[in-house]
Amino acid sequence: MNFKKIIVITMSIIMGVYGMNAQTSKDTKTLVLYFSRTDENYAVGNIKEGNTAIIAKMIAAKTGADMFEIVPAKAYPAKYKPCIDQAMSEKRANARPAYKGDIDTAQYDTVYIGYPIWWGDLPMVVYTFLDKHDLNGKTIVPFCTHEGSGVSGTDGAFRSKYPKAAVKTPLAIRGATAQNNRKGAEKLVDGWIK
Ligand SMILES: Cc1cc2nc3c(=O)[nH]c(=O)nc-3n(C[C@H](O)[C@H](O)[C@H](O)COP(=O)(O)O)c2cc1C
């Protein structure tokens, strides 16, 4: 084997290894999963992007995570009053409303889960997702938006559903802060992620 051949082979091996590394580092092991609703919101008016969606996108941008949005198969009413009424009936019935599509969560080590507080609880469609996925053994990082209730103990839902998951301290942000004070919201997200 001449010297030129040795150089070419060595270079190919080095490039191959670098190529593989580049591919590996792109594969994220973190998922940001969220549910969020647009349209009429009593605190921030008619919104085109949900409050929780804003925070979910911030977290994904900062962590380089994949995202999955839980989109209900049947959209919630755009008007506020019918929406809260429907949410209350679903909660009373312990309903499991369907959502569109799905994601294989097996490949993720860390799952951020974001949701608005609905009647002091997770929206029922989030429970539908949880019922379909075993997140035991993973790190779960809850975050929510609300208008006064805070986390409302919703992190407890993940602890009881997945006793073998490590559930981190949740982040609770006012919906109005997420919607109207992005810089303020980002500060809260930064402080919490650290
Ligand atoms: C059906 C429904 C129930 C709600 N219940 C509560 C509640 O119990 N406590 C609270 O602080 N905010 C409550 N809110 C306000 C939302 O949590 C808040 O507006 C949130 O930021 C909405 O997030 P989203 O835009 O991502 O859907 C409720 C809103 C809706 C639509």
Please spell the DSSP secondary structure of 142-171, one letter per residue. Answer: EEEEESSSTTTTTHHHHHHH-TTSEEPPPE
Q: In the chain, what are the domain boundaries?
A: 29-193
Provide the token pair at 75: 């959209």
Instruction: Give the distance (Å) from ligand 1 centre to CA of residue 89.
Output: 15
- From the CA of 174, give the closest atom in ligand 1: 21
Kindly indicate whether the domain formed by 29-193 is annotated with CATH number 3.40.50.360. Answer: yes
The CA 27 to ligand 1 mean position distance, Å, reads: 34
Which tokens go with 76?
A: 């919630």
Q: Measuring CA to CA, how many Å separate 55 from each of 26, 28, 52, 74, 143?
A: 22, 19, 5, 23, 8
Query: Is ligand 1 within 6 A of the CB of residue 119?
Result: yes
pLDDT digits (tens, 9 = 90+) for 179-194: 999 999 999 999 999 8
Question: Is pLDDT of 14 > 60?
Answer: no
- Residue 184: per-residue pLDDT: 98
Q: Which residue has the higher pLDDT, 33 or 3?
A: 33
pLDDT number for residue 3:
63
pLDDT digits (tens, 9 = 90+) for 36-64: 999 999 999 999 999 999 999 999 999 99
Q: Is pLDDT above 70 for 23?
A: no
Q: In a mutational test of the pocket of ligand 1, which residue from 55, 84, 90, 147 has the highest number of ligand atoms less than 8 Å from its CB?
A: 147
Output 188 or 14, whichever has higher pLDDT.
Answer: 188
The structure tokens 């070419």 sit at 8
With bands split at pLDDT 50, 70 and 90, how would you rate the model's confidence at 27? very low
| Number of continuous H segments (helices) and E segments (strands) in the chain | 7, 8
Q: Closest Cα partner for 51 from 125, 123, 120, 147? A: 147
Structure-model confidence comparison of residues 140 and 21, the more confident one: 140
pLDDT of residue 4: 66
Q: Check pocket membership of 174 for ligand 1, CB cut-off 6 A.
A: no
Q: What is the mean predicted confidence (pLDDT) over 2-9?
A: 64
Q: Does the beta carbon of 114 lie inside 6 Å of ligand 1?
A: no
The mean predicted confidence, pLDDT, of the chain is 91
**pLDDT-derived band at 25, boundaries 50, 70, 90:** very low
Reported as a single tens digit per residue, the pLDDT across 111-148 is: 999 999 999 999 999 999 999 999 999 999 999 999 99
pLDDT number for residue 22: 41
| CB 123 near ligand 1, within 6 Å | no
| Residue 9: pLDDT band with limits 50, 70, 90 | low
Q: Which among 51, 59, 70, 118 is the best mutation to test ligand 1's pocket, defined by most ligand atoms within 8 Å of the CB?
A: 118
